[in-house]
Amino acid sequence: MDIIKGIRGVKDILPEETSRWRFIEETARRWATLYGFHEIRVPIFEVTTLFARSIGASTDIVEKEMYTFQDRDGTSLTLRPEGTAGTVRAYIEHNRAADPVPQKYFYSGPMFRHERPQAGRLRQFNQFGVEFFGTADPRADVEVMALLWRMLSDLKLPALTLEVNNLGSGPDREIYRPLLVTYLRQIHEELCGNCRRRLETNPLRVLDCKVATCRSATEAAPRLADSLSEDARSYFTAVLTGLDAIGIPYHVNHRLVRGLDYYCLTTFEVTSTHLGAQNAVGAGGRYDGLVHMLGGPSTPAVGFAVGLERMALMLDQQAMTSTIQSLTVYVAGFGPCGSTSGFSVLDQLRVAGISAASDYRSSSLKSHLRQADRLKARFTLILGDDEVEKGIGLLRDMNTKDQHDIDLTHLIPRISSLLQAS
Ligand code: ATP
Ligand code: MG
């Protein structure tokens, strides 16, 4: 029979790798909590219009990357390609704007995009993200960028750069758009096929194209920065001053236009030269119009999302403090009485909070000890028929190979005190 395989671009995370993942997730959660964000869990699928309306019809995601399907009643549903749309929907639906304290959420979980799979680019991938609602102060932008920067720095991810730009307000971009389009029409010949299309649908995205010829052709393009209103400029100055004040290093990148329509004012991205072609680790920005656009009260907001796969690719094993729960006791029960007693001792240990394992396939002491070694057990409790008859077991310290009798009625306190002593 044919073996059924996983889907292309959809990966298993095997037990050897999950400690690395937990380490990343726990670090992210810890930092987000330090900055006053609380976890929100929103659904993995939503009605398609939510994403189409928020992310924007002429973006890569909505044009070609969404996993969309029909529900039985014909409703169009989509597996979430990102976390902001669902979080905003929940914010509106549960009337969170009525809460007098700023709403600060974080989320972590799988996202789905139909892309060409390669290193650091998958069809199911995981993002950690934060959304800060209700504050139009540039310090909120700084706080969100600081959180991202400190979290990634704490993970000791190499060669990071925080790139920042200012997209101005909607009207600012309306002034800029025709200037850019005029310029792009002149260099039309030099643009890639994708950008020729973007020129008509979403011209700002041309500036973000990764193709080298597009980049050089747009080098001399008019700058959005020159079309910005006084308000947008002073907002940006306040953001940069805030970053300086708390010592977050950044690089102003005038070409940084994010691929989602909902951003305004501040946009940012953290990149690393260690990631090859997929050099972005995380990105975000301000999206003051989105809550209102989705039918909620006018609410300023700012947030980011980071890709956990890309973080995992960069994480040096050395940087990980051990989160691996090692095995404390391997129970080696053999012979009719030893096996029976071993089975209940296993359970007693676990109930007492001591990790314990056995291999039911092993029937001799020798094979048990081999498995205890492989499982890197701290102790092995040897229970043969003779021991069990005397109400004892033999406790073997797997590091020193010392072995001594242990009264089974005092097993738990004895092991606990040995663990405390070591
Ligand atoms: P890219 O330019 O790499 O396509 P993006 O602009 O589409 O990124 P965002 O939507 O801003 O990415 O998502 C934020 C982060 O999520 C990215 O910086 C990246 O780390 C991660 N990410 C996005 N798409 C994928 C994917 N297909 N596979 C793995 N990680 C991804
Ligand atoms: Mg993308």
Task: Identify the helix (H) or strand (E) that includes residue 131.
Answer: strand 124-133
pLDDT tens digits along 53-103 = 999 887 889 889 999 999 999 999 999 999 999 999 999 999 999 999 999
**pLDDT tier at 258, thresholds 50, 70, 90:** confident
Across the range 379-408, mean pLDDT stands at 96
pLDDT tens digits along 259-312 = 667 889 999 999 999 888 778 999 999 999 999 999 999 999 999 999 999 999
Which ligand 1 atom is the nearest neighbour of the CA of 278? 3
81 Cβ closer than 6 Å to some ligand 1 atom: no
- Please tell me the residue having the least CA distance from ligand 1 atom 26: 121
83 Cβ closer than 6 Å to some ligand 1 atom: no
pLDDT tens digits along 397-410 = 999 999 999 999 99
pLDDT at 322: 56
The shares of helix, strand and coil residues in the chain, as percent rounded to the nearest 5, are: 45, 20, 35
Class of domain 15-169+229-320: alpha beta
Q: How far is residue 357's CA from residue 348's CA, in Å, rounded to a whole number?
A: 12
User: Is residue 367 exposed (0-12), middle (13-18) or buried (19+ Cβ within 10 Å)?
Assistant: middle
Which ligand 1 atom is the nearest neighbour of the CA of 82? 10
Strands in 238-310 per DSSP E: 251-252, 264-272, 280-286, 301-307
pLDDT tens digits along 75-85 = 999 999 999 99
pLDDT tens digits along 15-35 = 989 989 999 999 999 999 999
pLDDT tens digits along 129-156 = 999 999 999 999 999 999 999 999 999 9
Start-to-end Cα distance in the chain: 52
pLDDT tens digits along 312-330 = 999 987 667 655 558 999 9
Q: Check: CB of residue 61 under 8 Å from CB of residue 82.
A: yes
Q: How far is residue 392's CA from residue 399's CA, in Å, rounded to a whole number?
A: 21
Q: How far is residue 213's CA from residue 256's CA, in Å, rounded to a whole number?
A: 17
Structural domain spans, the chain: 15-169+229-320, 329-421
Q: Which value, to the nearest 10 degrees, does the dihedral of the CA atoms of residues 25, 22, 118, 280 take?
A: 30
Which ligand 1 atom is the nearest neighbour of the CA of 269? 18
Task: Identify the helix (H) or strand (E) that includes residue 142.
Answer: helix 138-154
pLDDT at 76: 98
Q: How far is residue 142's CA from residue 146's CA, in Å, rounded to a whole number?
A: 6
pLDDT tens digits along 163-199 = 999 999 888 988 999 999 999 999 999 999 989 988 8
Across the range 199-204, mean pLDDT stands at 88
Class of domain 329-421: alpha beta
- Are β-strands 264-272 and 379-383 bridged in parallel, bridged antiparallel, or unpaired? unpaired
pTM of the model: 0.91
